[in-house]
């Protein structure tokens, strides 16, 4: 064989065998069609890993980091992002999932499953002697047919600030496969309320910067809440300071509470008690000057990016000026946006106009612990919100945050474009039928690639049926024949066993933006892989 590969034979959780391709040999490389085929195997392997995580009954994966940290998730982008893949084509699949996550925020598993299925069908076409470029062209043609068909079968969902039921149902569809599915109506409501709070419905724009998701160990998932304001994982710098401040006028500082020092390397020698007292008086004078500048603006709370020592802390307490220290840069920015204050880099620049305003700033304590967090509510900018997630362990909190991110993205997508298609594989089956019909009218060899594309679209409902414990081929054949005979594109896989295949009646919605992007991204990647006929490591040619 021209190009020997280092491969490992393994089995998945169902005992099915698969091969992991580690790395191509250095000197003996495959070229041409053989190379294209060799690239399909690692891509299929990656797709098979996440395939079992698709849908509301999908299985979770445990990811173990090098330092032993455990992540339990069924989010495609997280699984692939944590995987240590060496093969170049497998890395492309990881990037595919990431681009879906960055652009849409949901559908990261489906896009990888579809790309894997397309490559699997492309392999059989290559075996029949069809050139990779003709296959890629056929896939492109089929993709445009499928995307146009999505536009025909989509429905518009109506919503307003006072009527968000349709947004809620779409968010619930997204959360159905997540760890929070037990509380998925509550989480969906939180996601919808958060997005509606920061959305400009007229411009169809959602300011993600105003939504912060934070979490704390303790409590249970049902204790998760939406706070109309900002939550900061800090407390007052001194236990003697008041735990709440009403009608807060906040000085937001990025300069430290300490005497000025020379910028360059410096050394100060103190050789007598008098000199030490003189230095101490100088520092105290500077501290008092800083506090006076803050008090003169009318501020009654200081939020500082940097720390300050015990002497400054004591002086702040004496001058009845509550303060919070070591607040991170992103949080400082969010507080400034929410309170409509200005971030001040020097005490000399501080003025009354630059203060942030909030109705109340208070400390919140948790259970029997001494941990406290700061809540800034009734802010001048009422659109800033924080989702506060509770859970029994760190793993559940992190997975709940990822689930909320997906749900928030889904609601955002509906505000940008309120068209939906129906889930449960209904849209994929309908597009598969449409592509098959279009292929019958194509006289060229591309018709084979188009039929392969139609078969690949069936892989998503097949995976959904398999993961739900249903007989995959029989279930798909039944739903597909009903779609053809009844002309009903809303029929899909009944994953939850409700006895009804009509996804509209089950309220299983998918944003059109998400489904369309899945098709386009998967086709684009498959075309790129089919055009690669050699891998050359930089600086390593044929020897």
Residue 478 among the catalytic residues: no
Catalytic one among 52, 109, 170, 224?
Answer: 109
* Helix, strand, coil tally for the chain in percent (to 5): 50, 20, 35
What is the rounded distance in angstroms from the CA atom of residue 292 to the CA atom of residue 165? 52
The stretches of 128-224 forming alpha helices (DSSP H) are: 132-153, 165-175, 184-198
Catalytic one among 52, 75, 235, 523?
Answer: 75
What is the rounded distance in angstroms from the CA atom of residue 296 to the CA atom of residue 326? 23
The three state secondary structure string of 40-108 is HHHHHHHHHHHHCCCCCCCCCEEEECCCCCEEEECCHHHHHHHCCCCCHHHHHHHHHHHHHHHHCCCCH
According to DSSP, residue 218 is labeled: B
* 8 A C-beta contact, residue 425 and residue 515: no
Residue 141's contacts (CB-CB under 8 Å, 6 or more residues apart) are 442, 446, 449, 450
Strand pairing report for 199-200 and 205-206: antiparallel
Residue 357's contacts (CB-CB under 8 Å, 6 or more residues apart) are 247, 248, 249, 250, 339, 340, 341, 379, 380
What is the rounded distance in angstroms from the CA atom of residue 316 to the CA atom of residue 240? 11
What is the rounded distance in angstroms from the CA atom of residue 130 to the CA atom of residue 196? 51
Cα distances from 66 to residues 62, 69, 83, 410, in angstroms, run 13, 7, 11, 32
* 8 A C-beta contact, residue 340 and residue 381: yes
Residue 475 among the catalytic residues: no
With CA atoms as reference, report the closest residue to 382 among 211, 209, 162, 229. Answer: 229
List the structure tokens of 198. 């920061």
* 8 A C-beta contact, residue 342 and residue 352: no
Number of continuous H segments (helices) and E segments (strands) in the chain: 16, 19
| Residue linked to tokens 């050359």 | 536
* 8 A C-beta contact, residue 340 and residue 359: no
What is the rounded distance in angstroms from the CA atom of residue 59 to the CA atom of residue 46? 15
What phi and psi, each to the nearest 5 degrees, are found at residue 56?
Answer: -70, -20
Q: Which residues of 93-122 are buried (b: 16+ CB within 10 A; e: fewer)?
A: bbebbebbbeebbbbbbbbbbbbbbbbbbb
Catalytic one among 406, 458, 494, 510?
Answer: 406
List the structure tokens of 528. 């790129």
> What element of type H or E holds 206?
strand 205-206
Residue 75 among the catalytic residues: yes
Catalytic one among 45, 73, 78, 108?
Answer: 108
Residue 109 among the catalytic residues: yes
Q: Which residues are catalytic?
A: 75, 108-109, 406
């Amino acid at each position: 064989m021209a190009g020997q590969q280092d491969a490992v034979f393994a089995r998945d959780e169902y005992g099915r065998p698969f091969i992991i391709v580690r790395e191509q040999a250095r000197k003996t490389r495959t070229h041409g069609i053989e190379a294209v085929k060799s690239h399909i195997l690692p891509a299929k392997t990656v797709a098979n890993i996440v395939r079992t995580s698709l849908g509301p009954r999908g299985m979770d994966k445990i990811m173990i980091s090098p330092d032993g940290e455990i992540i339990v998730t069924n989010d495609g982008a997280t699984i692939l992002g944590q995987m240590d893949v060496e093969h170049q084509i497998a890395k492309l699949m990881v990037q595919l999932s990431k681009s879906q996550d960055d652009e849409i925020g949901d559908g990261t598993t489906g896009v990888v499953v579809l790309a894997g299925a397309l490559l699997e069908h492309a392999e059989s076409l290559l075996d029949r002697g069809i050139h990779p470029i003709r296959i890629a062209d056929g896939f492109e043609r089929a993709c445009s047919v499928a995307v146009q068909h999505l536009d025909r079968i989509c429905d518009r969902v109506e919503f307003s600030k006072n009527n968000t039921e349709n947004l809620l149902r779409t968010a619930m569809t997204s959360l159905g496969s997540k760890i929070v599915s037990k509380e998925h109506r509550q989480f969906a409501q939180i996601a919808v309320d958060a997005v509606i709070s920061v959305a400009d419905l007229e411009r169809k724009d959602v300011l993600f910067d105003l939504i912060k998701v934070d979490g704390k160990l303790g409590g249970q998932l049902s204790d998760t809440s939406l706070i109309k304001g900002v939550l900061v994982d800090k407390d007052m710098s001194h236990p003697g300071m008041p735990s709440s401040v009403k009608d807060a006028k906040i000085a937001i500082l990025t300069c430290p509470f300490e005497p000025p020092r020379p910028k360059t390397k410096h050394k100060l020698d103190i050789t007598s008690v008098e000199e030490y007292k003189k230095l101490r008086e100088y520092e105290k004078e500077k501290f008092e000057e800083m506090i006076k500048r803050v008090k003169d603006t009318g501020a009654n709370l200081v939020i500082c990016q940097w720390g300050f020592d015990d002497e400054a802390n004591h002086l702040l307490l004496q001058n009845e000026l509550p303060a919070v220290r070591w607040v991170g840069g992103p949080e400082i920015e969010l507080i400034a946006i929410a309170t409509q204050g200005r971030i001040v880099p020097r005490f000399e620049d501080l003025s009354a106009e630059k203060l942030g305003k909030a109705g109340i700033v208070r400390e919140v304590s948790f259970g029997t612990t001494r941990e406290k967090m700061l809540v800034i509510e009734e802010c001048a900018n009422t659109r800033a919100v924080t989702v506060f997630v509770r859970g029994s362990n760190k793993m559940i909190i992190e997975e709940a945050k990822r689930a909320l991110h997906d749900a928030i993205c889904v609601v955002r997508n509906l505000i940008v474009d309120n068209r939906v298609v129906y889930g449960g594989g209904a849209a994929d089956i309908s597009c598969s039928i449409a592509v098959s019909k279009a292929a019958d009218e194509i006289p060229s060899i591309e018709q084979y690639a188009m039929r392969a594309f139609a078969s690949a679209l069936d892989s998503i409902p097949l995976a959904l049926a398999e993961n739900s414990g249903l007989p995959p081929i029989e279930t798909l054949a039944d739903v597909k024949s009903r779609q053809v005979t009844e002309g009903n594109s809303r029929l899909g896989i009944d994953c939850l066993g409700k006895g009804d295949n009509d996804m509209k009646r089950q309220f299983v919605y998918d944003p059109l933006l998400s489904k369309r992007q899945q098709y386009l991204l998967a086709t684009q990647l498959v075309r790129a892989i089919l055009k690669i006929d050699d891998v050359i490591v930089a600086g390593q040619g044929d020897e």
